[in-house]
Amino acid sequence: MELLPIRELKSLAPANPGDYRIHAQVEKAQAKQAKSGNPYFELGFADAEDKVTLRAWNDSAAYNSATELKAGAWVEVSGHWYDNGSFGLDARDWKIRPLEQKEIDSVMGGSPELAAKQASDYAFMEGEIATMSDPRLKALCDGFMEQFGERFQRAGAARFNHHARRGGLVEHVAQMMRTAVQICAAYPQLNRDLLVAGVLFHDCGKLWENCYSPNGFTMPFTEHGELLGHITIGIEIVNKLWREFQDSAQWGGWVSLEPSNEQVRLHLLHLIASHHGQYEYGAPVLPKTPEAVVLHHVDNIDAKLEMFFKGYQTSKHLAANIQERVRPLQHSLVRPLGHYVGADEKEPDAATEDEFGEV
């Protein structure tokens, strides 16, 4: 029985139902009751890149195993995987066994490609921070990476919709930063240092709202995250770091800098506060500076494109070049136009694979 990562299973099994197994951590194990009154368990499983949900009904062989499962357990799930219509990916006759430590270590490591990408993304952010000219913003960013870098590298960018994986926040912020610096090259009127810092800090509150446990793929809820939310927490983090610099030896050399220290702090806080763009999306204030407008749109672009690219890999095909909607997008997915390939670049009669895996 082939062992697959969850993301690959989601891509393969709907079109090719069959016997597969996954290695994952139990994210949730909830006892529920159907409308008929019959009890069942809803089980969530997660690995380094994706999640899947299964239901253990009271008349199934998996039900007894499910009653003993706790969130955080490491297991192998094996069975016949298939597309169950509105329920999505499902499995029949599935079984669970605990993983051995060497298997757990392998799951925690994730794919070499993902680990290399996240390491490269983190190094890219460090490199962009190193080029900053404003000593205050540079010191603030360095201080954040030094104090919270480990936590940053295990946070997700969201709980469900985009980059919802361990280290996903690093991927999201790094890609936003790449886009932001290119926009600054096109619009040199923008304050590049401020925008780079805004990208770094805009979701820093998610280190407490969407952070994975130190040794796994469970994302516990926290009172700070629930009662304050990541925008409020992000403002608190910047103010905390700022106060620390006010007590440092560096501060005296910054007092006469222009723009003033208070202006720099205020504009950075505005980027965090306004990055959701609209009141109905949770922004306490609308974007009111060019950098705030750019940050909001760069954030939205990267989140939306991640949903598209993930959907192309995992959502059901409805017709030629059309795939099922991925929430929270409000429409079906239409596959993009392929890149032009000149006649002198194409091998005769050769089928070419597009960047989403289709021939």
Q: What is the pLDDT along the chain (359 residues), one digit of tens a residue?
A: 899 999 899 989 988 999 999 999 999 899 999 888 889 999 999 999 889 999 998 888 888 888 889 989 999 999 999 988 777 889 999 999 999 999 999 998 888 899 999 999 999 999 999 999 999 999 999 999 999 999 999 999 998 889 989 999 999 999 999 999 999 999 999 999 999 999 999 999 999 999 998 888 888 899 999 999 999 999 999 999 999 999 988 898 999 999 999 999 999 999 999 999 999 999 999 999 999 999 999 999 999 999 999 889 888 889 999 998 888 899 999 999 999 998 877 765 555 556 665 64
Is 149 in the same domain as 267?
yes
Shared domain for 96 and 167, answered yes or no, is no
Q: What is the pairing mode between strands 51-57 and 333-334?
A: unpaired
> Which of 303-342 are b and which e, b meaning 16 or more Cβ less than 10 Å from the residue's Cβ?
beebbbebbbebbeeeeeeebeebeeeeeebeeeeeeeee
Instruction: Tokens for 268, please give them.
Output: 């950075």
Q: Do 227 and 184 share a structural domain?
A: yes
Residues 128 and 101 in one domain: no
Q: Please name the amino acid found at residue 68.
A: E
Number of structural domains the chain divides into: 2
Beta carbons within 8 Å of 156's beta carbon, 6+ residues apart: 163, 164, 165, 166, 167, 168, 169, 206, 210, 211, 212, 219
Contacts of 200 (CB under 8 A, 6+ apart): 125, 129, 141, 144, 173, 177
| CA 240/CA 268 separation, integer angstroms | 13
Strands 39-46 and 89-98: unpaired
317 within some domain: no
Rounded to two decimals, the pTM is 0.88
Give the separation between CA 346 and CA 171, rounded to whole angstroms: 33
The domain in which residue 45 lies consists of: 2-105
Task: Determine, yes or no, domain membership for 37.
Answer: yes
List the CATH number of the domain containing 88.
2.40.50.140
- Of 72, 105, 138, the domain-final residue: 105
Assess whether 290 and 153 both reside in one domain. yes
Maximum C-alpha span of the chain: 74
Q: In terms of domains, do 176 and 242 share one?
A: yes
Judgement on whether residues 27 and 171 belong to the same structural domain of the protein: no
**From residue 265, how far is each of 50, 102, 261, 296 by CA, in Å?**
37, 47, 6, 18
Please tell me the distance from the alpha carbon of residue 227 to that of residue 201, in angstroms, as a whole number. Answer: 20
CB 9 within 8 Å of CB 1:
no
Domain presence at residue 331: no
Residues 85 and 118 in one domain: no
Counting beta carbons within 10 angstroms of the beta carbon of residue 135, is it exposed (0 to 12), middle (13 to 18) or buried (19 or more)? middle
